[in-house]
Structure 1
Amino acid sequence: MSESLKCPVCNQLLQRTEKTYCCVNKHTFDLAKEGYLNLLLNAKKTAGDSKEMMNARRNFLAKAYYEKLSDYVNQILLDTFSAEQTIIDIGCGEGYYLSRFHRQFAPAAPHFYGLDISKLGVRMAAKKNPELQWLVANFANLPFTDHSVHTVLSMFAEYSVAEIDRVLTKDGRVIIVRAAANHLMELKNIIYPEIHEKAKTSSIKYFPGFTITQKHFSYQTQIENTEDLLSLLLMTPHYWKIKPAGVENLKQQKQLTVTISIEVDVLTRKD
C-alpha cells in the first residue's frame, strides 16, 4: 500500500512492516490473512450489509447484468487516468466495479483502494482480487492523508463531501453514480402497490467550489430467473422498504426485463 494511509486514531502516516501497519505513536493495525486492512475503530460486528445481502450482490453481479453499467463507468475513469494515480472506491462492497476496471485497463497500477464499512464485503473483495488494497473503513473518516487521492468513486454509496474535499488532489476528480428515476422501474412496479418517486438530487448543490458534468446512461437487460430477481432485490434499498406481499409478488416472476438507468456526476475543482 502506498504512503497515503493515515492512522484513524491520531491521523499520522501509517508505515508498513511485514504484515503490520504502525504510526509514530505506535498505533498498530494488522493485515488480515486475506490481505485486507481493518482501520475501522469500535466497529460493530453487524456493520454494513448482511451476509445474505453480500452473497446476493456477489452472485447477481457475477451474472454480467451490470457489465454495461460497469463498462460505461470505466470509460469515465479512463478519461484522465494514469498508472501512478491513487483511486479509491467508497462503499466498494465485494469489489466488483474496482476489480473490473483494474483487470481490464490497469493491471500494473499499484494505488487502487476499495473501502467499505462491511468487513464481510471487504473480505470477499480481497479473496476475489488480492492484487488491490482493500480497507475496512468509514466514509465519514477516510483513512487517507490530505490531498493524496486523484479519483474518488462512489457507486450507489454514501459519502462525505468534507472528507472527499480533504483527500482529493488539486486536479482530482469525483465520480458519483446514483440511480435515475426510472432505474429498475419494472421491478418496482411488482414489489410496490404504488410508486411514489422522490426527486433525484444531483451532487452539485453539495460540492461548492467544484464544476460538474452530468451524464445519463440507460439500457435494458433480462433477468433470467426468480433467484436472480431476488438477489437483485436484496442488493437494493427497496428490500428494506417493501412489505412481505411485495416479495411474494416477485417470487411469482420467472423472468423480467428491467431498465438499468443511472445518473453520473463528474466533479472537478474550479480553477
Structure 2
Amino acid sequence: MGLSRKVASANYMREQQAIFACPVCHEKMEVTDECVVTCENHHTFDIAKQGYVNFMTHAATSMYGKDLFEARKQIIGSGLYAPLHQAIVELLLTFKQDIKVLDTGCGEGSHLAKIKQKFEDAIGLQMVSAGIDIAKEGIITAGRNYEEMIWCVGDLAKSPFQKSSFDVILNILSPANYKEFRRLLSPNGCVVKVVPQSGYLHQLRELFFADSDKESYSNNHTVERFKENFSNVTVQRITQTVAINEELVPMLLHMTPMGWHQVADIDQTKVKEITIDLDILIGKV
C-alpha cells in the first residue's frame, strides 16, 4: 500500500525544509515524522490530509471558491495557456541547472504544475516547486491534484519562507508583493510577472461590456510599477487566438475575477474563439 498524500507530502517537504521560515517568529522550521511543520519556538502547522500546509496566522477571506478553482483547472488543462507555459519554461531553461520556483497567488496550482512538467521533461533537470495563495479552497484543490509539490495557504505579508530561497518567483495574473519578492529571490534570480495585454479575452469584454470603459484594457500602470521595483526588465508578449469549445465558455466566464459570469441574458454561444494576449515581465533585483 502506498503512502497517504499527507505522509508523501510531509516527506517531500522535509527534503526542502530549509526554505521554510516561521511566519510568526521567522525562525527556521523542520518537518516532523508526525506531519507537522514546526520551529524551535514551538509554533506548529499541521500538514492536511490533502497534502498542503496552512501557514495563515490571521483570519482571511477570499472571494474565490471551489467552483472557480475547478473551472480554472479545466481551462488551463485544455491547453489555452500552453504558449505562456512554453515561454516561461524556455526562460527557466536558461538557468541550466536544478531550480527552485515559487508561484505566488497560485490558486489551484495548474499553471505551476504544467510549467514544472514541461521543464523537467525538456532537459531532465529538477524543479522544486512551491505555490502559495491566501485562498484555502485553491490550495486544497492543488494538494489534491498535484503531488511532489509544496502547497501553502499563506500571506506573503507574513511569509513562511526564508530569505533568498527561490531562483524564480512567478506571479501570473495575480496581485504582487514586490518587497517580499525581492527578499525571497536568490542573488541571480528573477521575478516573472504575467499581466493582461489589450487583446486579452477581448471577445468576452466586447460581449459583456460593449460601449463601456471596461471594453478596453491597458496594463501600462502595472508595467511601470514593475519597472520601478526591478532593474534589467524585459517584456515578452504572447498573443494567440484559438477556437474554443462551447462547453468551456461557462468555465472561462466563471474563472474570471471580474464577475462576467454573473451577467444574465448573454448569449454565450456567440463566443467561438478566444484571444490570449499577455505580457511576460521579467525582472532582476
Same fold at TM > 0.5: yes
Change in CA separation of 1:232 and 1:214 when aligned onto 2, cut-off 3 Å? same
- Structure 2 partner of 1:118: 135
Judge conservation of contact 1:20–1:28 (CA < 8 Å) in 2: yes
Q: CA deviation at 1:254?
A: 5.7
Q: Distance in 1 between matches of 2:140 and 2:230?
A: 36
- Are 1:160 and 2:160 matched, yes or no? no
Alignment of structure 1 residues 47-62 onto 2, 5 Å: 47-62=62-77
- Structure 2 partner of 1:237: 257
RMSD of aligned residue pairs (Cα, Å): 2.0
- Structure 2 partner of 1:88: 102
Judge conservation of contact 2:239–2:275 (CA < 8 Å) in 1: yes
Deviates more, 1:22-31 or 1:51-60: 51-60
- Structure 2 partner of 1:23: 39
Judge conservation of contact 1:139–1:159 (CA < 8 Å) in 2: no
Change in CA separation of 1:198 and 1:179 when aligned onto 2, cut-off 3 Å? closer
- Structure 2 partner of 1:33: 49
Judge conservation of contact 2:169–2:191 (CA < 8 Å) in 1: yes
Gaps of 5+ in 1: none
TM norm structure 2: 0.85
Q: Alpha-carbon deviations, 1:227-256, whole Å to 9, x = none?
A: 31121112123226x8734xx2143x1651
- Structure 1 partner of 2:240: 219
Judge conservation of contact 1:152–1:175 (CA < 8 Å) in 2: yes
Q: Distance in 2 between matches of 1:125 and 1:23?
A: 25
Match of 1:104 among 118, 127, 131: 118
Q: CA deviation at 1:179?
A: 0.6
Q: Which has the higher helix share?
A: 2
Amino acid at match of 1:99: A
Partner-residue secondary structure (3-state), 1:106: helix
Q: Alpha-carbon deviations, 1:191-239, whole Å to 9, x = none?
A: 11324234313444344352200111100111111x3112111212322
Q: CA deviation at 1:42?
A: 2.2
Amino acid at match of 1:217: I
- Are 1:12 and 2:31 matched, yes or no? no
Judge conservation of contact 2:204–2:271 (CA < 8 Å) in 1: no
Gaps of 5+ in 2: 1-12
Judge conservation of contact 1:216–1:264 (CA < 8 Å) in 2: yes
Q: Distance in 2 between matches of 1:29 and 1:93?
A: 20
Q: Distance in 1 between matches of 2:161 and 2:191?
A: 15
TM norm structure 1: 0.89
